[in-house]
Structures are given as structure tokens and as C-alpha cells.
Amino acid sequence: MTETRDYAYTKSQAMLAKLQRDIPKLIGLAGPLLVGQLAVIAFGVMDTAMVARYSADDLAALAMASSVFISIYVGLTGVVSALAPIAGQLFGAKRFDEIGEEVRQGWWLSAGLSLFGILILANPEILLSIANASPEVETKAVLYLQIVAWGLPASMAMRVLVAFHNAVSKPTVITWLQIIGLLLKIPLNAWLIYGGFGVDPMGGPGCALATVVINWLWLIAALWIVYQGKFYQIFAVYQRFSWPDKHKIGTLLKLGLPIGLSYLIEVTSFAFMALFIARLGTLPLAGHQIVANLGTVLYMLPLSLSIATSTLVAQSIGADKPSLAKEIGWSSLIFTTSICVLVGLLVWQFKYPLLDLYAPPDEVRLAAIPLFLFIAFYQIFDALQVTSAFILRGYRVAFLPMWIYAISLWGVGLGGGYMLGFNLTGNIPEFLQGAQGFWFANSMSLAIAAALLMALFKHTAKRFEKEHPPVEV
């Protein structure tokens, strides 16, 4: 018995030592990433708030257009984000000049993806017709998408630089650019939406033009920083011109396409969830929208920690330290989940003050309150699944996670939510009907995804350790 207790104590001490070693590195990378992610979210919040003051038609057009744009943008940027684990492994292996070549090939890939995206955004009528909106609203939505298409090449090229900076543990540079961009967006939005100084009011399309301007300014600034900064010289990004390399672009696509599809599955699962809940009526949809918006903000915390984890795992693998990669992965899972459990408890405890921030009508408040149980509850599963997914991307494993997301989020989340929400069997408890049913099924889908992704991480880490055993001295 004493030996068992001693063993358990020794094991817990070892785990604590690992956490103390790994967590500061995670926080150091994740902090700037979190600030940057929140700045990006603020862009959307600002657009919504400022356009809402212009007209209801413009707000409706913005909602329609932004949902289309986000779906396309997230899918395309997911493909480009494959550069991060590839460059991260090269950075860990100290193959610095090869990173510059990967960046150049990433730009070629982003250019090709941009052309594809522009073709869709320039002709969005078929996609928008699904909403069956009024001609006035649809016209404004079309104009919004046609304007924002001009910023897509800059935005995609910038995502290459974002992935590059994350891979080499320099996220702060991008964060500062995002904060400055946010500060510029406020006056640009006001000028172009409401008009003035010789410019006619543009309404919703005005914020699209402001976004395009910011996207190009971001890219120019980031390119200049990489060109001028002493830190970047070892990567030789501008040392020479490179034509498209089929092999390198193929490698990026092999990893990037599953990542992009995973992003798309996540986005569409929540989008269709909202569409299905809309059939239940205005009040359930309004309550859902408040909780979903809050959930998006909360998600930035585990997402930032997960991106940081992926970087450190990739660098460790590149440095031929698979044991360290596994250690960082498990440390992040423990830390991120612990933080998110605390967040979930705080959300439940302070649900009424949080609701007050949105100042909803009483009937909307009543519709939203039951959903807080689910958003508080699923924080643990959300933390586990997103951290595991990004750990696997650090290992350059993305194909199986894509299928796990498809089965869990679409199959269990949407399929199960539809069955519960609309009481298809006729015997669903009232508590699990309506919007609550969709949120319960969504929580279960995240739990399933978390379990499967963690199992895959365990298997992958074990395999890597066998293939790369420690060198005996």
C-alpha cells in the first residue's frame, strides 16, 4: 500500500513538474493569439453595430452576406493554414531557409484559392437565393460580396504570413497589426457607411469596402516587416523568386484540404443549427443567437491555446523530440480543459449579468436562459476536441480528424439535434425539445469528437515515439 502511494505521489510530482515547464511556454504564445482573435471578432461586432444604426435592410443584407463570406473564407484559409505545422517542424529542425520556400509556395497556393473564392463571391446570387430575401436586401448583399471579393487575395496572402509567424513563435507581430487594423476600421466604417467628406452613404457595403482597405494595408505592412526585420533574414523569404512547385503545393494541399474541410464542417454545423432553430420561431432563434455569440467569444480562449500547442508540438517533432511533443500535448490538454471548466462554471454563475450585456427583451431572455446550461457544460468537451485537433495538426495528421468532425458534428450534432428539437419520435422529454435539443446534441457531438481525437492523439504520439526512439548516450 505504501509503495502504491509513493508511486502515485512520484507520478503526480512528475506531472506537476511537466505542467510547470510547459504552461509558461503555452501562455507566452497563446496570450498574443487570444488578443488578436478577439480583435478580429471585434471587426464583425463593429460592422453589425454600425450597420444596424443605418437601416434594417442593410443589417439583414450584412447578415446574409457575411454568412456566405465566412463559410468560403474559413474553408479557404483552413487550406493555407497547413503551412503552420510544416513550417513549425522545419523551424524545430533549424532548416530555416526551407521555411522561406514554403512561404513562397504558400503564396502561390493562396493566389489560386483566391481566384476560386473570387469567382464565387462575384456571382453569389444562387447562394443568396436560398434565403428568399427581398430584392432590396439581396441587391445589397450581392454588392457587399462583390466588394469584399477584392480584398480576398490580400487576406489569403496575409493568412500565409499569419501561419508563418505562428510557426516561428512570433504571433505578437500579427497581433499588433490586428489591433492597429481595428483602430483604423472604426473611422473607415463610419465614413463609408454613413458618408461624409464628399462620399455618399454606402450602408452595409461601406463596411465591406473598409474591410478591403484594411486587408491590403495589413498585407503591405506585414510584407515590409518581414523584409526589414533582422529576425526574418535567416528564412530568406525574399532571397529569390520561386515558380509554383507541384510537390510542395501538393504537400500543402494534402494537409490543408482536410483542415479546410474541418473548418467548413464546424462553420456549417452551427450555421445549419441556426437555420433549423429558425423554424421554431423568432424567440427561440433570438435566444440561440445570444448564446451562440457568447460561445464564439469564449471559444477564442481554447482556440488560442490550441494554436500555441500546435506550434510547440510541430517544433518538437521537427527537432526530433517526439517525447517532448507528447508531453506538451498532454500538458496543454490538462491546462486548457481546466481553464475552460472554470470558464463554464463562471458562465453559469453569472448568466444573468452576461445576458444583461445584450439587453434583450424579457421574452428573449426567457428563451436564452435554458441554453446557458449547455454552453457552460460543453466547455470541457470543446476544450478537449479543439486542443486534440490542433495537436494532431502539429503531427501533420488531418485526414482522420476531418472524418471525425463530419460524423460527430453533422451526424450526431445536426442529425441528433433535428430529431430532439422537433420531437421526431414523439417521446422526447420537453426539456430536450426545441433549441435545447439542438444544443444538447451539439454538446454530445463535441464529447464524441473529443474522445475520438484524444484517442487518435494517443495512438499517433505512441507511433512517433516508436519511429523516433531517444538516442542512447
Q: For each of the chain's 473 residues, which pLDDT tens digit applies? A: 555 555 444 656 666 777 777 788 888 888 898 898 888 888 887 887 788 777 777 777 777 788 788 888 888 999 999 999 999 999 999 999 899 999 999 999 999 999 999 999 988 877 777 656 677 778 888 899 999 999 999 999 999 999 999 999 899 999 999 999 999 998 998 899 888 777 788 888 899 999 999 999 999 999 999 999 899 999 989 988 889 999 999 999 999 999 999 998 988 888 788 778 877 887 787 788 788 878 888 999 999 999 999 999 999 999 888 889 899 999 999 999 999 999 999 999 999 998 887 777 788 788 888 989 999 988 999 999 999 999 999 999 999 999 999 999 999 999 999 999 888 888 888 888 888 999 999 999 999 999 999 999 999 999 988 877 654 43
Asked if residue 120 and residue 40 are part of one domain, the reply reads yes
Cβ neighbours of residue 137 under 8 Å, at least 6 residues apart? 57, 60, 61, 64
389 part of a folded domain: yes
Asked if residue 327 and residue 205 are part of one domain, the reply reads no
Query: What pLDDT does 471 receive?
Result: 47
Of 193, 215, 244, at which residue does a domain stop? 244
Paired with 199 in beta bridges are 196
473 part of a folded domain: no
323 part of a folded domain: yes
268 part of a folded domain: no
Query: What pLDDT does 11 receive?
Result: 57
Kindly list the distances between the CA atom of residue 263 and the CA atoms of 61, 259, 393, in Å, as whole numbers in the listed order.
24, 6, 13
Asked if residue 343 and residue 224 are part of one domain, the reply reads no
Tell the burial category of 176 from Cβ atoms under 10 Å away from its Cβ (0-12, 13-18, 19+): middle
d(CA 75, CA 257) in angstroms, rounded, equals: 8
pTM: 0.89
Query: Angle 170-189-292 (CA atoms, 0-180°, nearest 5)?
Result: 70
Asked if residue 302 and residue 239 are part of one domain, the reply reads no
Asked if residue 321 and residue 197 are part of one domain, the reply reads no
Asked if residue 289 and residue 227 are part of one domain, the reply reads no
d(CA 363, CA 269) in angstroms, rounded, equals: 26
Query: Angle 241-243-246 (CA atoms, 0-180°, nearest 5)?
Result: 145
Cα atoms in the Cβ-side hemisphere of radius 13 Å centred on 144: 30
339 part of a folded domain: yes
Domain extent, residue 429, equals: 281-466
Query: What pLDDT does 164 receive?
Result: 94
Cβ neighbours of residue 301 under 8 Å, at least 6 residues apart? 34, 339, 340, 343
Paired with 196 in beta bridges are 199
Asked if residue 321 and residue 443 are part of one domain, the reply reads yes
Q: Please tell me what DSSP assigns to residue 8.
A: H
Which contacts (CB < 8 Å, 24+ apart) does range 246-250 have?
A: 248/101, 248/102, 248/105, 249/105, 249/108, 249/109
Asked if residue 213 and residue 319 are part of one domain, the reply reads no
d(CA 268, CA 279) in angstroms, rounded, equals: 17
Residues 83, 103 contacting (CB under 8 angstroms): yes
Domain count, the chain: 2
Which triple of cell numbers denotes residue 455? 484517442
Cα atoms in the Cβ-side hemisphere of radius 13 Å centred on 403: 4
137 part of a folded domain: yes
Asked if residue 321 and residue 429 are part of one domain, the reply reads yes
* CA-only gyration radius of the chain, Å: 23
275 part of a folded domain: no
Kindly list the distances between the CA atom of residue 431 and the CA atoms of 371, 380, 434, 442, in Å, as whole numbers in the listed order.
11, 22, 8, 15
What's the length of the chain? 473
